[in-house]
């Protein structure tokens, strides 16, 4: 199943009602807030989201660092295009 939402601003309560499996994809249309602080808080949030076992596809908004400025993100081919993906956790 594909779900679309936007402007989560680090609040992912909407994900709790979604069945947790790797077949589900959630597209966040900007302002996810996952790379907002660029510190341990972001790392903890990423681990929390990773533990939910849901694929996230996040389109950057104006409330997060650009992925190309984060060294742990690498360009990958996916969905017939090139994207920056966090490499040390599965998303």
Statement: residue 5 has pLDDT above 60: yes
pTM above 0.85, yes or no: no
**CA geometry: angle 40, 33, 41, nearest 5 deg:** 15
What confidence tens digit (pLDDT) does each residue in 51-87 have?
888 888 888 888 788 877 887 777 777 777 776 665 4
Q: How far apart are CA 56 and CA 26, in angstroms?
A: 5
Q: How far apart are CA 28 and CA 9, in angstroms?
A: 10
What confidence tens digit (pLDDT) does each residue in 30-51 have?
899 988 888 899 889 989 998 8
- DSSP assignment of 43-57 equals HHHHHHHHHTT-EEE
Q: Would you state the pLDDT for residue 64?
A: 84
């Amino acid at each position: 199943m594909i779900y679309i939402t936007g402007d989560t601003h680090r609040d992912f309560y909407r994900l709790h009602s979604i069945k947790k499996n790797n077949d589900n994809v959630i597209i966040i249309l900007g302002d996810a807030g996952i790379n907002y602080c660029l510190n341990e808080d972001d790392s903890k949030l990423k681990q929390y989201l990773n533990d939910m076992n849901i694929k996230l596809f996040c389109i950057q908004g104006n409330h997060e660092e650009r992925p190309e400025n984060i060294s742990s993100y690498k360009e990958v081919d996916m969905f017939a295009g090139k994207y920056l993906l966090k490499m040390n956790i599965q998303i």
